Structure 1
Amino acid sequence: MDNKLDWSAFAEQGMGDAYAGIPKQGGDFAKAVAVCIGSGHCERNQRGVMCPSFRITQDPEQSPGGRVRLLKQYLNRDLACEPEPQLMAALDQSMDSCVACKGCKRECESNLDMAQIKAEYLAQKLVQQPLSRRDWLFAHLPQLLYRHRWLGKLIGLRNRAAYLAKLSDHWLGISARIALPELATRRFAPEKRVYYPYQSLSDRPPRSVVLWIDPFTALFHPKQADDALHVLRSAGYVVWLVHPESQADRVLDSGRTLFSKGLIDSARQQASYLLEALAVHVHFERPIIGLEPSSLLMLRDEFLTLGLGEAAEKTAKKALLFEEFLARESQMADFALKLVAEPQSKPLLVHGHCHQKAVGAMKSMRRVLRLVAGLQFKMIDSTCCGMAGTFGLESEHIDQAHAMAAQGLLPALAQQTEATIISNGFGCAYQIEQLSGRKPLHLASFLASLIKRPR
């Protein structure tokens, strides 16, 4: 097995342990699979994220532990024989139902990283069979939307013409039961690459930060980028912008969509371009701040599995979610961001993206919201919202996606129909909008609304 990702971090896993159960084939990848100790923790109904697919099916094979058991059977097979069709069908179904939420990476006693294991699994499948039309389209969507602007109009036309929705369902496997996200009327394309604070808030020289704007934010929610820039400038920072069009000859992206579909080589190339663009900022020790959890956390997690060396390691150490950065800076003596809340008439609900939860960033969300005097808010306890990248748009998965949302998210929203909702994930916010008819705010937009705009 020629591994597509770098699994060397697991090289010593289980060595000398007769009970480790490391499969015969797969090298360090097999050792990553074998971190599972079979405790069954992922096959219980509990608080937290893990495991969305098990929760809605109650099928042990649709849990991280079940996937490990099937993978071990596959990796322990006799290579001289074809794998049993029954095993392959069960393994394909089990891996297909994984939404790569990373709940197991945080909540499993052994920190099993099934999201990364799934990426390797999909990459191995592509050695034997080509990517489907739909998955190719979704994998390359950020690049396609920038290079072929007519695609944005086609999405709108598809949403308004039932026959086109049915055609895309039949031909591509994109469900006709849900509208596709539509591009904003203007994309985020700043005139400058660096913006200075509105005013000095202390005697020290202003610190510099990098605001990395991913393609989904730039194309679909440019106001979120404007609002984040406003918050950071109001807090006294010099803000350097890196966005999809920062380099004239390519579209800068984290490669998340490519990675999630198993296109590891393409994701590696995309990551190398972004690392190149960020290198000067890493050299000057500037924090790299991102708004979209799945994109920013690529820099901190998946980039380290792509064999990109020291550049990836240094960048990972500087990468922070917007809320993580503000929470950290709020502990500094000279932090002086003034957040003035109006008398609150609506309750505030906060839904976390699965990857935010996986890295513990919801603690940062709490800390930042507590900077607003008198603000009352509640964190929604739920598993994955069900959108999970493109999972909630796919014909064969839409019922599962809705069932996941119904586990905790939708009941919480139904209990407080007048609440303002904060949700930082692009997919999460879209799922909430589609299933409840309510539009969530990004934390950056909520905070910007509490800061007076300079004249």
Structure 2
Amino acid sequence: AMDLCVGCKGCKRDCPTGVDMAKMKVEFLQHYKAKHGHTLKDRLVAQLPDYAAWAARLAPLLNLRNRIPLLATLSEKWLGLSAKRSLPQWHAQHFFNAPVKTATRDEVLAAERGVVLFVDTFNGYFESGNAHAAVKVLQAAGYTVHVATKAQDDGKHLCCGRTYLASGMVEQAKEKAREVVQSLLPFAHKGIAIVGLEPSCLLTLRDELLVMGLGSAPQQIAEHAWLFEEFLAREAKAGRLERLKAQLKAVDQPVLLHGHCHQKAFDAVSPILEVLRWIPGAQPQLIESSCCGMAGSFGYEASHFEVSMQMAELSLLPAVRAVPNAIVVADGTSCRHQIA
């Protein structure tokens, strides 16, 4: 049963016992893997943030896996990653080696309207357009934007540790958490918002980070950590986004929204609908769905592929097919991959 639980947090809000299934799964995996060892697939998933910069340099070679059926078959045999599932595409040029001009730590700390953008591994390396767009929107709204980096820069981006938690590597996740605290605490002390794009990463700062035994600092960070749409909705309520709203271009396509499980658990779907409605002509419709079936690496695994697709076919994918010309909005990188 624990193997089939995706740890998606979708049940967290309604569980009458108060059990947090996601944390329970991490605890289970930590003890199970300590006894049985981690597989190569476990390490590849967990250590993704650490080798991503190196792997991106080999993008043309690594991307052959999706184009050559034999390589997909071998990846299933050796790693347990389903040959029926494409893997995220690597890019030699990505957000972290071709960033837009943003503010330094000192500049944002001194700014009148500063904001810190927490760019995760997935949006930074695989879908850089999202990170670039976020910077563009925040700067258009008049904010001084700083992209979060390690306090002691070692050439690697800041990571929340989510991939390590998903693989039961709690001690390694704690190391990442310490780096997060060291980097972000000065901004929290100044009351500067820390804005993230990937729900599973940003909301780690409001959930798992608080139970890693790092004192009171994580709570201070959590109080200033916002998903992109949450931050925009808050700022609009304070009357600070009229400049941005005036620049939004109209759309003439239907807009469908799929909520990430973490967003549902934290009641963070409504701000997305609010922000989308600012776009002239947009009438966003929420797809009433459960988990998309991916839940991080769960849906990529050959042993879970069929279950993953059954979950997606319950409501999500039929709703997307029913409106073929729609713009489909989904904050989660694995959700987008499933839909695509």
**Under a length normalisation based on structure 1, what TM-score does the superposition of the two structures give?**
0.69
In the alignment, what sits opposite 1:408? 315
Cα distance in 2 for residues equivalent to 1:185 and 1:169: 25
Could you tell me which of 239, 255, 273 is aligned with 2:161? 255
Cα distance in 2 for residues equivalent to 1:425 and 1:331: 25
Task: Output aligned runs, 1:391-406, within 5 Å.
Answer: 391-406=298-313
How many equivalent residue pairs? 332
Cα distance in 1 for residues equivalent to 2:151 and 2:285: 37
Query: Relative to structure 1, is the Cα distance of residues 152 and 271 closer, same or farther in structure 2, using a 3 angstrom cutoff?
Result: farther
Cα distance in 1 for residues equivalent to 2:246 and 2:173: 39
In the alignment, what sits opposite 1:102? 9
In the alignment, what sits opposite 1:71? none
Q: For the aligned residues, what is the CA RMSD?
A: 2.1
In the alignment, what sits opposite 1:228? 134
Could you tell me which of 367, 384, 389 is aligned with 2:296? 389
Q: Is the 8 A contact 1:209 1:238 kept in 2?
A: yes
- SS of equivalent to 2:237: coil
Task: Output aligned runs, 1:171-320, within 5 Å.
Answer: 171-189=78-96, 190=99, 192-194=101-103, 206-243=112-149, 247-320=153-226
In the alignment, what sits opposite 1:135? 42
Q: Is the 8 A contact 2:199 2:262 kept in 1?
A: yes
* CA apart distance, 1:317: 1.0
* CA apart distance, 1:154: 3.9
Query: Relative to structure 1, is the Cα distance of residues 156 and 314 closer, same or farther in structure 2, using a 3 angstrom cutoff?
Result: same
Cα distance in 1 for residues equivalent to 2:153 and 2:217: 19
Give CA deviations for 1:136-160 in whole Å, capped at 9, x if unaligned: 1111112122234455344312112
Task: Give the 4+ runs in structure 1 shifted more than 3 A.
Answer: 147-154, 243-246, 339-344
Cα distance in 1 for residues equivalent to 2:52 and 2:152: 16
Query: Relative to structure 1, is the Cα distance of residues 412 and 244 closer, same or farther in structure 2, using a 3 angstrom cutoff?
Result: farther
Cα distance in 1 for residues equivalent to 2:215 and 2:100: 33
Q: Is the 8 A contact 1:187 1:220 kept in 2?
A: yes
In the alignment, what sits opposite 1:21? none
* CA apart distance, 1:107: 2.3
Give CA deviations for 1:377-420 in whole Å, capped at 9, x if unaligned: 10000011111101111010000000000011011112111111
Cα distance in 2 for residues equivalent to 1:349 and 1:191: 29
Cα distance in 2 for residues equivalent to 1:131 and 1:107: 32
Name the aligned partner's letter for residue 300 of structure 1. Answer: R
Query: Relative to structure 1, is the Cα distance of residues 191 and 371 closer, same or farther in structure 2, using a 3 angstrom cutoff?
Result: closer
Could you tell me which of 413, 424, 427 is aligned with 2:331? 424
**Under a length normalisation based on structure 2, what TM-score does the superposition of the two structures give?**
0.92
Q: Is the 8 A contact 2:56 2:91 kept in 1?
A: no
In the alignment, what sits opposite 1:437? none
Cα distance in 1 for residues equivalent to 2:117 and 2:227: 10
Greater gyration radius: 1
Cα distance in 2 for residues equivalent to 1:184 and 1:244: 23
Establish whether residue 325 from structure 1 lines up as the match of residue 231 from structure 2: yes
In the alignment, what sits opposite 1:112? 19
- SS of equivalent to 1:96: coil
Q: Is the 8 A contact 2:116 2:192 kept in 1?
A: yes
Cα distance in 1 for residues equivalent to 2:91 and 2:233: 30
Cα distance in 2 for residues equivalent to 1:312 and 1:340: 36
Higher relative contact order (CA 8 A, sep 6+): 2
Identity %: 41
Query: Relative to structure 1, is the Cα distance of residues 344 and 160 closer, same or farther in structure 2, using a 3 angstrom cutoff?
Result: closer
In the alignment, what sits opposite 1:365? 272
